């Protein structure tokens, strides 16, 4: 059984996080609460009028200093579906190109009174740094090789959509673990929720000390996938590697790529996941990415609901989630 941690033991549960820096700060109760809240918001996206007044009057700034398709767009959609005003800052059009520091950028944004800054940055710890200097909520949308908590939460929500519980599942994560903030959040989240996490990849992609997070390192990709309930492939994070850490992409695809033959080793009802963007034919073959076992686009759909939940919980929307799902 997963040992339930409580943020405020002995009292009625209350979500008590102004900032979302990572899965590490969240208890299993927090994780369950965020996912339950996201599940209650999910149907809003299927309505003819996809909007509720929950965050009317709130201002959310998306400060993305690295490229993003899914995370930036889904935070913006999430905020807009809850009637918040959203504004986006991209690195190429910001004054960071003129030498302004991240803290100065954030202080200037704060001078315009936003309620939350959603930040993506190449430096691990950038969200915590901002929180030391400014007062509004900070939500980490991916910091360096550290964490990508909303991705970890949407991955857990997607698994729960298809399996009775995360507890007791074998989850294989294959690829560039060392440079992946998704891996950082997923390993922490999956193990907190009671899964057995098995990692595989070239030695140069397996970070020192990862077993201290509770994950096992398999000798081969086949061992990791054997009887797995979930197989997640990760992109090679070339942007975080100074020198090539593998001989060639072709060789990597042969040794570690997820193909049909490897997938046969997993349980028949295996879920195939990938945080995106996918390099088809490298970490995963197209027929696997598009096959019946793939829940990759479900992950993206759940991303909107999870980000609605995170904005709602950190910005203190109306007290009852039920209230918000009734138009």
Summarize as ranges the residues that interact with ligand CP (CB under 6 A): 68-71, 142, 148, 151, 275-277
Indicate the residue among 20 and 52 with the shorter CB distance to ligand CP: 20
For ligand CP, give the closer residue by CB, 69 or 327: 69
Q: How far is the CB of 185 from ligand CP (least distance, A)?
A: 10
The Cα-based distances of 143 to 65, 111, 125, 185, 251 in angstroms read: 10, 23, 6, 11, 29
In the complex with ligand CP, the residue whose CB is nearer, 90 or 103, is 90
Residue count of the chain, please give it. 327
Contact 58, 315 (CB under 8 A): yes
Cβ distance to ligand CP smaller for residue 52 or 273? 273
Nearer to ligand CP, 32 or 66 (CB): 66
8 A C-beta contact, residue 59 and residue 114: yes
Rounded Cα–Cα distance for residues 146 and 87 (Å)? 25
Give the shortest CB-151-to-ligand CP separation in angstroms: 5
3-state helix, strand, coil in the chain (%, to 5): 45, 15, 40
Measured from the CB of residue 317, what is the shortest distance to ligand CP in angstroms?
Answer: 24
Closest separation between CB of residue 13 and ligand CP, Å? 29
> What is the closest distance, in whole angstroms, from the C-beta atom of residue 290 to ligand CP in the complex?
18
Closest CA to 230 of 147, 306, 160, 307: 160
Determine phi and psi for 96, rounding to 5 degrees.
-60, -30
Shortest distance (Å) from residue 143 CB to ligand CP? 12
Which residue's CB is nearer to ligand CP, number 28 or number 205? 205
C-beta of 114 vs 142, nearer to ligand CP? 142
Q: Toward ligand CP, which CB reaches closer, 66 or 229?
A: 66
Q: What is the DSSP letter of 321?
A: H
- C-alpha to C-alpha distance for 57 and 188, rounded to whole angstroms: 34
CA angle 116, 119, 123 (to 5 degrees): 145
- In eight-state DSSP terms, residue 166 is S
> Rounded to the nearest whole angstrom, what is the least distance from the CB of residue 12 to ligand CP in the complex?
34
Nearer to ligand CP, 70 or 107 (CB): 70
Contact 35, 156 (CB under 8 A): yes
Least distance to ligand CP, CB of residue 265, Å? 26
User: Among residues 53, 94, 42, which one has the least CA distance to residue 303?
Assistant: 42
8 A C-beta contact, residue 20 and residue 136: no
> Which regions of the chain does DSSP assign to beta strands (E)?
59-64, 85-89, 116-121, 137-143, 170-174, 196-200, 216-217, 230-233, 271-273
Distances (CA, A) of 32 to 16, 92, 96: 14, 37, 37
Q: Min. distance of Cβ 144 from ligand CP in angstroms?
A: 13
């Amino acid at each position: 059984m997963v040992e339930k941690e409580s943020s405020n033991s002995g009292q009625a549960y209350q979500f008590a996080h102004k900032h979302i820096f990572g899965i590490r700060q969240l208890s299993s109760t927090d994780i369950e609460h965020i996912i339950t809240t996201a599940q209650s918001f999910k149907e809003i996206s299927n309505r003819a009028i996809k909007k509720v007044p929950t965050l009317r009057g709130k201002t959310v700034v998306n400060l993305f200093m690295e490229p993003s398709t899914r995370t930036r767009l889904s935070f913006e959609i999430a905020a807009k579906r809850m009637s918040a005003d959203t504004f986006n800052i991209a690195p190429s059009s910001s004054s960071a190109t003129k030498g302004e520091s991240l803290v100065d950028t954030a202080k200037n944004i704060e001078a315009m009174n936003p309620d939350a800054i959603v930040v993506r940055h190449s430096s691990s710890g950038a969200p915590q740094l901002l929180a030391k200097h400014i007062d509004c909520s900070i939500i980490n949308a991916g910091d360096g090789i550290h964490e990508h908590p909303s991705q970890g939460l949407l991955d857990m929500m997607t698994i729960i959509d298809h399996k009775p519980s995360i507890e007791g599942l074998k989850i294989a994560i294959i690829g560039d673990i060392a440079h992946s903030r998704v891996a950082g959040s997923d390993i922490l989240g999956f193990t907190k929720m009671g899964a057995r996490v098995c990692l595989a990849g070239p030695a140069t992609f397996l970070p020192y000390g990862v077993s201290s997070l509770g994950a096992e390192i398999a000798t081969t990709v086949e061992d990791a996938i054997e009887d797995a309930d979930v197989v997640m492939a990760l992109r090679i994070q070339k942007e975080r590697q100074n020198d090539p850490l593998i001989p060639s992409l072709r060789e990597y695809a042969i040794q570690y790529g997820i193909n049909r033959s490897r997938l046969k080793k997993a349980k028949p009802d295996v879920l195939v996941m990938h945080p995106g963007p996918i390099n088809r034919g490298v970490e995963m073959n197209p027929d696997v990415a598009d096959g019946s076992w793939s829940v990759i686009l479900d992950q993206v759909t759940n991303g909107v609901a999870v980000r609605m939940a995170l904005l709602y919980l950190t910005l203190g929307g109306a007290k009852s989630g039920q209230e918000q799902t009734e138009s």
